[in-house]
Amino acid sequence: MLGNTFGRMFRVTTCGESYGRALFTIVDGVPPGLKLTNEMIQEELDKRRPGQSELDSPRKETDQVEIVAGMNQEGYTSGAPVGLLVYNVDTQDIHIQQYRDYKDEIRPGHAEYTFFVKYGGYADWCGAGRASGRETVGRVAGGAVAKQILLQEGIEVIGYVKESYGIRAKEMTFEEIKANYRKNELNCPDLEAAERMIEKILEVKDEGDTCGGIIEVIARGVPPGLGEPVFDKLRATIAHGLMSIGAVTGVEVGAGFEAARMKGSECNDLPYIDDEGRVRFRTNNSGGFSGGISNGEDIVVRIAVKPTPTISLPQKTVDIRKMEETTLAPITRRDATICPRIYPVAEAMVMIAITDALMMARGYEGLTRGDEIWKRLRE
Amino acid sequence: MLGNTFGRMFRVTTCGESYGRALFTIVDGVPPGLKLTNEMIQEELDKRRPGQSELDSPRKETDQVEIVAGMNQEGYTSGAPVGLLVYNVDTQDIHIQQYRDYKDEIRPGHAEYTFFVKYGGYADWCGAGRASGRETVGRVAGGAVAKQILLQEGIEVIGYVKESYGIRAKEMTFEEIKANYRKNELNCPDLEAAERMIEKILEVKDEGDTCGGIIEVIARGVPPGLGEPVFDKLRATIAHGLMSIGAVTGVEVGAGFEAARMKGSECNDLPYIDDEGRVRFRTNNSGGFSGGISNGEDIVVRIAVKPTPTISLPQKTVDIRKMEETTLAPITRRDATICPRIYPVAEAMVMIAITDALMMARGYEGLTRGDEIWKRLRE
Amino acid sequence: MLGNTFGRMFRVTTCGESYGRALFTIVDGVPPGLKLTNEMIQEELDKRRPGQSELDSPRKETDQVEIVAGMNQEGYTSGAPVGLLVYNVDTQDIHIQQYRDYKDEIRPGHAEYTFFVKYGGYADWCGAGRASGRETVGRVAGGAVAKQILLQEGIEVIGYVKESYGIRAKEMTFEEIKANYRKNELNCPDLEAAERMIEKILEVKDEGDTCGGIIEVIARGVPPGLGEPVFDKLRATIAHGLMSIGAVTGVEVGAGFEAARMKGSECNDLPYIDDEGRVRFRTNNSGGFSGGISNGEDIVVRIAVKPTPTISLPQKTVDIRKMEETTLAPITRRDATICPRIYPVAEAMVMIAITDALMMARGYEGLTRGDEIWKRLRE
Amino acid sequence: MLGNTFGRMFRVTTCGESYGRALFTIVDGVPPGLKLTNEMIQEELDKRRPGQSELDSPRKETDQVEIVAGMNQEGYTSGAPVGLLVYNVDTQDIHIQQYRDYKDEIRPGHAEYTFFVKYGGYADWCGAGRASGRETVGRVAGGAVAKQILLQEGIEVIGYVKESYGIRAKEMTFEEIKANYRKNELNCPDLEAAERMIEKILEVKDEGDTCGGIIEVIARGVPPGLGEPVFDKLRATIAHGLMSIGAVTGVEVGAGFEAARMKGSECNDLPYIDDEGRVRFRTNNSGGFSGGISNGEDIVVRIAVKPTPTISLPQKTVDIRKMEETTLAPITRRDATICPRIYPVAEAMVMIAITDALMMARGYEGLTRGDEIWKRLRE
């Protein structure tokens, strides 16, 4: 019932559900003087919008966002919390009726059962309610604000499909990934592998089934020293954010689970001094962390995305009102894989976590691009 | 830049400013199964709406609220965060232009100077921006949700004008106050004193000046044991909430500052056992607290409200851009006293703090009116 | 059960009770490179130590503090949380036995009843347990760390007795107060008034009774712009901290409750430009705040301290186990007034709140006195 | 500098470092009436104590814990925060001198570099300071308190070595694991595999090298419905806790990364009604979660533990003061693998996260075993 806020100093609070009237995001901790337009937010939201390819759900949502609070008359953030409003549009009665028809049946792999336990019959049964992927609109909207702060600090974050149903993309440089990752409907920068991935996904889709994959997120330009020792290491807050995304079943940084099979002498990243006199590391098995704190190398994190639970096959389940076993009918309106739509959500969570850590370190003053008045009053 | 959330388990987060597009409130921690309608929220908002009498600012705002998130299809809360949307309507260019004309001048008694220091020239200069009394729409909207939870628990909270520009209402019982406090435009239950208060306010208004007063809030039916020892005593969180309201310069509970002039033998409230076998206290000098925790007696708290800073008299001030002294012209669109409009805000803060403390004690399960499904799954 | 932490970025967490083994404070958010010694903490603790005059309780506690965590080998803070340990010493069985004798009787004006409601018979009945004034050792220890940070920033905080049992000290300048406030056992800088106050307190003491008073805290040198608009105004977080102290029944800033009896034209503090080209205010009715945010003037806040509830007179009360009315015997080990011992606690809460607000604004980096290595690695 | 608290309603705050005077833990949110002894805490601490086998570091610490706050005179928790004190003993000057000798050299794989960036030369260079594994004493102490609450609720949590340097234990039932996991010095319940694992570890140790592995934690008896939708899913807060442990590079639940290679029809756990009329799931690919909220099945979570970074081989590194490359000498005082000592830390984090979620749901009242007085006062 709680848990709708992420971040401590840069805080994203969201509300809204699948078939509610609107999705809303309040972003607190936005420094003043940031240029912010509806288009900047829209660009990020468009990445996760459904109905963009045959891999996705056919649900039609325009996801038009409007900034309704936090801006001054000149189009800059004023230091007040930014409010972002998106109305739901594809909420016709015909769809609501479909959900009503099997509202007491637990959809396997979904959140229904635990929502019933928490909220009883008051739980929103319509299109998964608050547990729907539609809540990720709020995450991406919040992430879009974080993105503008990070860009100002020279930090770039990209997420992409690293693996789909067992097919893995080749190793590529950051530049190669960045140049290619949005060139296909799967958002996989290895264009050749992507073709094979898509072919395989469509095969699975034709069977009425679904599949998952692995998303990698890379953050470049993160200054060393972000995150707080002990419980709030940046590694931990990023993991928190990513593991809070609906379909995610695992997270790893750098060498990740492979590190468990290495020797210390193989795994340790050795420091050296680069041509500009800065400390760098020769390898990045740690995924950009020393002691869980950012060390200046690329932050590299991967998440396991399970197959979409909604399938076009009959499934045994339980009717929670009658308390009897039953069979859930196949469902056609669904995503064959959620991977191409989940990468912007993963990007958003990483961006929010980094922005929050930056603000812990520097305070909001440290992230404020002060104008003349600001400077004069502080002399 | 932060600080837009109040509460720990029952959390009200707001955004929106004086001349922004909309005011928005997210209420997290709302138990499922609560009947909630736009009308319930509207009723509270209407208490603080401007332009209702000659004591108020003539600003015309309808403050129409819509619940856009957190409800199930049957009109009950679903356990998801509740989203409350109010569009600003009286934001015509003519008013914006007025504010633009003296946007660099510090308005005495207002927040401008400190907003300039924090945000520089990016600060929202229009109608006080986020520091405007309009932000209290979000407080009252959040309080209206708290109110429904409290009513379910048998807790009633009322706020009223106790003193206006030095004229004090007589002592009255809770029932008398409740029966009379909304019978005049000042919201003072001592109807005779209220006439004198209003007469005096209009005199001051005619001089182009303003005045303040004292609001008392009483919470009846609060169970003993709410609030957490040491830093988060209920007395302290209520004080936090009340001292965060724009015009408040003091807060006291029970005998308050008078307690400092009493002897221990006079001030100590003596416990006894009432006819129903419950522990009660013979006096209530503590204002409903023992050790800062609710003790079952009425919670009684008073706030000092300073005179509205906007006056129709010329005032010496500083132009922050030119950095030179100047004279601020008289302003006509203003409240002669803020007291009759601030009482619902004070009520709201007390209601939110109590609901939050209740939820700390009982968890959200303890405040859930479970239906059959809820109970069955928990057996 | 919760509520043992104060602050968001500069966080003081305490544990320990009246007759427990030790009192412990963890201060998180301490910038590295701060010189900190046991003596610095001890000096503050000694201000509130009991048994220093005939006005106080005769309890004998040495309050010897040891810093056991957070320091590097050179005696500077390392950026890790600082741990401060004080063992209780005056916890002999004879005293425990006294408390055991009337452990089921509610002591009027104390926290017992609400502790019984919250914790049942498990509540610590010995010397008020966690509700004892001994928990303030943790507050003062935490405040002593804050003080070192504030001194580094040029901020000075002093608290003193402004009024005792109705006798008020005259108006004095900050310099006069600072020069005189610790010259008598009451810690009242108006030395002449203090004599009358003490005489009166001893009279009341002789009657077996107690009295209270008003403490004023002044913070000089606070930069403008501290505190967060809306719910976390500095005025509100300071009020939270002060109203969490056991005996406090009211708090006011600047003109406080008198502001409710002023006209706007009298109450508004008019800005001007001083000789150094800075914005200042001609009066300080607001107590150092504009919009609840620090405005650069002295922060002036007063608290009402009720008379000590422990008196040497018989009092009617209730035995909570037998659930019957009874009479509590007179108690001799007590403070005639808590005022001379509560001022350092009030100072501490104000210092912690200001330090926390500073850290929200600047981040911990902004409060770090970096050495050469720090600077080199950040270039 | 912050980040030393874990949990929201059940909060563990720690301080203390490798060569500091003491390690201290404050546990806030402990319900009253819990029997708690030094021995109960000691039993858990003994699991992670160093020097217990040839797999561990030879550092000699007794880790004697004393409860110094939060207890009533009868040995039950009183509702006040519990304070747990452990003095460091193996902190002789000879060891400090060793660390001083290479204090400016970055130890590869350790936290030094980022601590230098954050804290400059003030960083505690002695034995890794706050980044040392010694801080986990505080985690385990806090977890030991959580354990008593969970046992009262019928919840059992066990962690064990699932894989070591690539050798994996066979699949076993909860009962088999529980019966065997502490039978060898590695804490691996597959006794046959454990022998091979240990042999391999000693081989690697002889090379002067180190290795890692995978720890699995299982929580049995967790009621369905724990954790909060969206950002604070129990899956996410557990991941946060685990990824905050020093050597952890990945976390997965249930099928984890393998889920990314399954079809929806394979991965979905199908609900059914068991003999007692409860909803259960036929498989547990989700690791005990539906929508990230506990679903009543065993919570199953695995972490990847990297090889201990301290090795007995020379390593190239950087001297941060001289800013030149250098070679770090082999270090002999070290753990060949951290796995057998990290499992109790992982258990602790899972136990704290579950207790915290329980308390969010039920409040502290819901976890209080009230006695007669408690019940009587609440009627």
Over residues B15-30, the pLDDT tens digits come to: 999 999 999 999 999 9
Query: pLDDT confidence of C283, banded at 50, 70, 90?
Result: very high
Alpha-carbon distance C50 to C56, whole Å?
Answer: 6
Residues of chain B found within 8 Å of residue A67, distances taken between Cβ atoms: 21
- Residues 39 through 78 of chain C touching chain B, CB cutoff 8 Å: none
Residues of chain B with pLDDT > 90: what percent? 89
Q: How many CA atoms are closer than 13 Å to the CA of C339, on its beta-carbon side? A: 39
Q: Confirm whether residue B77 is marked as ligand binding.
A: no
- Closest chain C residue to A80, measured at CA: C229
Question: What pLDDT is recorded for position C327?
Answer: 96
Please report which helix (H) or strand (E) contains residue B377, including its range.
helix B372-378
Q: In sequence order, what E strands does D123-276 have? A: 156-164, 167-168, 213-220, 248-253, 271-273
Question: What pLDDT is recorded for position D252?
Answer: 98
Residues of chain A found within 8 Å of residue D111, distances taken between Cβ atoms: 229, 290-293
Question: What pLDDT is recorded for position A148?
Answer: 98
Residues of chain A found within 8 Å of residue D131, distances taken between Cβ atoms: 229, 291
Query: pLDDT confidence of D266, banded at 50, 70, 90?
Result: very high
3-state DSSP call for residue C215?
strand
Facing residue for D24 by CB, picked from C69, C116, C118 = C69
CATH code of domain C5-367: 3.60.150.10
CB of C89 within 8 Å of a chain A CB? The answer is no
Residue contact D271–A318, C-beta within 8 A: yes
Residue contact C114–B211, C-beta within 8 A: no
Which residues, 6+ apart, have CB-to-CB distance to B265 below 8 Å?
Answer: C209, C311, C313, C315
Cα distance between the two ends of chain C: 46
Residue range B76-86: average pLDDT? 98
Alpha-carbon distance A69 to A77, whole Å?
Answer: 9
Least confident range from A84-98, B135-149, C12-26, C160-174: namely A84-98
Residues of chain D found within 8 Å of residue A294, distances taken between Cβ atoms: 114
Kindly state the tokens that stand for B9: 């388990």
3-state DSSP call for residue D309?
coil
Average pLDDT score, chain D: 95
Q: CA angle, B215 as apex, B210 and B220 as ends, to 5°?
A: 165
Residue contact A83–B15, C-beta within 8 A: yes
Over residues C125-160, the pLDDT tens digits come to: 998 999 999 999 999 999 999 999 999 999 999 999
Residue to test with chain B: of A122, A321, A324, most B Cβ within 10 A: A122
CB of B81 within 8 Å of a chain A CB? The answer is yes
Owner of token pair 């019984």 = C116
Closest among B235, B32, B34, B16 to B139, alpha carbons compared: B16
Min Cα–Cα distance to chain A from B275, Å: 39
Residue contact D11–C2, C-beta within 8 A: yes
- Do A348 and A47 touch, CB atoms closer than 8 A? no
Query: pLDDT confidence of D332, banded at 50, 70, 90?
Result: confident
- Strand-pair category, C11-15 with C5-6: antiparallel
Distance set, CA D34 to CA C363, D139, D311 (Å): 39, 19, 43
Alpha-carbon distance A201 to A212, whole Å?
Answer: 9
Residue to test with chain D: of A26, A267, A359, most D Cβ within 10 A: A267
CATH code of domain D5-378: 3.60.150.10
3-state DSSP call for residue C347?
helix
Kindly state the tokens that stand for C374: 């720090």
Over residues D140-184, the pLDDT tens digits come to: 999 999 999 999 999 999 999 999 999 999 999 999 999 999 999
CB of B133 within 8 Å of a chain C CB? The answer is no
Query: pLDDT confidence of D244, banded at 50, 70, 90?
Result: very high
Average pLDDT score, chain A: 95
3-state DSSP call for residue D201?
helix
Residue contact A69–B17, C-beta within 8 A: yes
Query: pLDDT confidence of B49, banded at 50, 70, 90?
Result: confident
Owner of token pair 């979409």 = A308
Question: What pLDDT is recorded for position D333?
Answer: 73
Neighbours of chain B (3+ CB pairs under 8 A): A, C, D
DSSP letter assigned to residue A31: P
Residue type, A288: G
Kindly state the tokens that stand for B207: 């001089």
- Do C141 and C46 touch, CB atoms closer than 8 A? no
Residue contact A360–C224, C-beta within 8 A: no
Helix axes C234-243, C339-366, angle to 10 degrees: 140
- Do B165 and B188 touch, CB atoms closer than 8 A? no
Alpha-carbon distance D308 to D247, whole Å?
Answer: 7
Facing residue for B116 by CB, picked from A3, A28, A373 = A373
Alpha-carbon distance C83 to D206, whole Å?
Answer: 40
> Does the structure show a pLDDT above 80 at A256?
yes
- Do D373 and C121 touch, CB atoms closer than 8 A? yes
Question: What pLDDT is recorded for position A90?
Answer: 80
Neighbours of chain D (3+ CB pairs under 8 A): A, B, C
Residues of chain C with pLDDT > 90: what percent? 89
Residues of chain B found within 8 Å of residue C227, distances taken between Cβ atoms: 3
Torsion sign, CA atoms C239, B218, B24, B249? negative
Residue contact D265–A311, C-beta within 8 A: yes
Q: Confirm whether residue B333 is marked as ligand binding.
A: yes
Alpha-carbon distance D20 to A188, whole Å?
Answer: 50
Question: What pLDDT is recorded for position A150?
Answer: 98
- Closest chain A residue to D166, measured at CA: A261
Number of H helices, E strands in chain A: 10, 16
Residue contact B366–D364, C-beta within 8 A: no
Kindly state the tokens that stand for A296: 């200046």
> Does the structure show a pLDDT above 90 at A335?
no
Least confident range from C346-355, D18-27, D195-204, D368-377: namely D368-377
Kindly state the tokens that stand for A233: 């290491």
Residue contact C291–B317, C-beta within 8 A: no
ipTM of this predicted structure: 0.97
3-state DSSP call for residue B119?
helix
Distance set, CA C180 to CA A208, C158, C189, C338 (Å): 85, 11, 5, 20
The three-state DSSP-derived secondary structure of C68-86 is: EECECCCCEECCCCEEEEE
Alpha-carbon distance A303 to A239, whole Å?
Answer: 9
Average pLDDT score, chain C: 95
Question: What pLDDT is recorded for position B196?
Answer: 98
Alpha-carbon distance C344 to C139, whole Å?
Answer: 9
- Residues 172 through 211 of chain A touching chain B, CB cutoff 8 Å: none
Alpha-carbon distance A219 to D38, whole Å?
Answer: 46
Question: What pLDDT is recorded for position A61?
Answer: 83
- Residue predicted with more confidence, D334 or B67: B67
Residue range D120-130: average pLDDT? 93
Distance set, CA B73 to CA B24, B65, B374 (Å): 22, 19, 17
Over residues C300-341, the pLDDT tens digits come to: 999 999 999 999 999 999 999 999 999 999 987 778 999 999
Closest among D171, D157, D187, D190 to D55, alpha carbons compared: D187
> Does the structure show a pLDDT above 80 at C215?
yes
**For the whole prediction, is pTM greater than 0.80?**
yes
Question: What pLDDT is recorded for position D161?
Answer: 97
Number of H helices, E strands in chain D: 10, 16
Kindly state the tokens that stand for D170: 């066979």
Closest among A140, A3, A32 to A84, alpha carbons compared: A140
Distance set, CA C242 to CA B29, B232, B305, C358 (Å): 27, 11, 19, 18
Question: What pLDDT is recorded for position D1?
Answer: 72
Other beta carbons less than 10 A from residue A206's beta carbon:
10
Q: Confirm whether residue D327 is marked as ligand binding.
A: no
Residue contact C279–B320, C-beta within 8 A: yes
Domain ranges of chain D: 5-378
- Do D244 and A232 touch, CB atoms closer than 8 A? yes
Dihedrals φ, ψ of C218, to 5°?
Answer: -120, 130
Residue contact A15–B80, C-beta within 8 A: yes
> Does the structure show a pLDDT above 90 at A168?
yes
Question: What pLDDT is recorded for position C53?
Answer: 78
Residues of chain B found within 8 Å of residue D364, distances taken between Cβ atoms: 360-361
Alpha-carbon distance D378 to C357, whole Å?
Answer: 39
Closest among A300, A315, A152, A294 to A233, alpha carbons compared: A294
Q: In sequence order, what E strands does A16-140 have? A: 22-28, 65-69, 82-87
Query: pLDDT confidence of B52, banded at 50, 70, 90?
Result: confident
Residue range D75-80: average pLDDT? 97
Please report which helix (H) or strand (E) contains residue B200, including its range.
helix B191-206
Which residues, 6+ apart, have CB-to-CB distance to A379 below 8 Å?
Answer: none
Query: pLDDT confidence of D299, banded at 50, 70, 90?
Result: very high
> Does the structure show a pLDDT above 80 at D51?
no
Over residues A30-50, the pLDDT tens digits come to: 999 999 999 999 999 999 887
Residue contact D204–A263, C-beta within 8 A: yes
Closest among B147, B136, B77 to B354, alpha carbons compared: B147
Q: How many CA atoms are closer than 13 Å to the CA of B255, on its beta-carbon side? A: 24
CB of D280 within 8 Å of a chain A CB? The answer is no
- Do A23 and A41 touch, CB atoms closer than 8 A? no
Query: pLDDT confidence of A66, banded at 50, 70, 90?
Result: very high
Residues of chain B found within 8 Å of residue A124, distances taken between Cβ atoms: 71-73, 78-80
The per-residue b/e assignment along D49-88, b for 16 or more CB within 10 angstroms, e otherwise, is bbeeeebbbebebebebebbbbbbbeebbbbbbbbbbbbb
Cα distance between the two ends of chain A: 46
Residues of chain C found within 8 Å of residue B225, distances taken between Cβ atoms: 114, 117-118
> Does the structure show a pLDDT above 80 at D310?
yes
> Does the structure show a pLDDT above 80 at D25?
yes
Alpha-carbon distance B120 to A317, whole Å?
Answer: 59
Alpha-carbon distance B64 to B38, whole Å?
Answer: 9
Residues of chain A found within 8 Å of residue C361, distances taken between Cβ atoms: 363-365
Facing residue for C363 by CB, picked from A80, A229, A360 = A360
Residues of chain C with pLDDT > 70: what percent? 100
Please report which helix (H) or strand (E) contains residue A214, including its range.
strand A213-220
DSSP letter assigned to residue D325: E
Question: What pLDDT is recorded for position A271?
Answer: 98
Question: What pLDDT is recorded for position B144?
Answer: 98
- Do A62 and A87 touch, CB atoms closer than 8 A? no
Q: Confirm whether residue C307 is marked as ligand binding.
A: yes
Closest among D281, D163, D287, D275 to D219, alpha carbons compared: D287
Torsion sign, CA atoms C312, C318, C321, C324? positive
CB of B337 within 8 Å of a chain C CB? The answer is no
Query: pLDDT confidence of B59, banded at 50, 70, 90?
Result: confident
Owner of token pair 């000042």 = B186
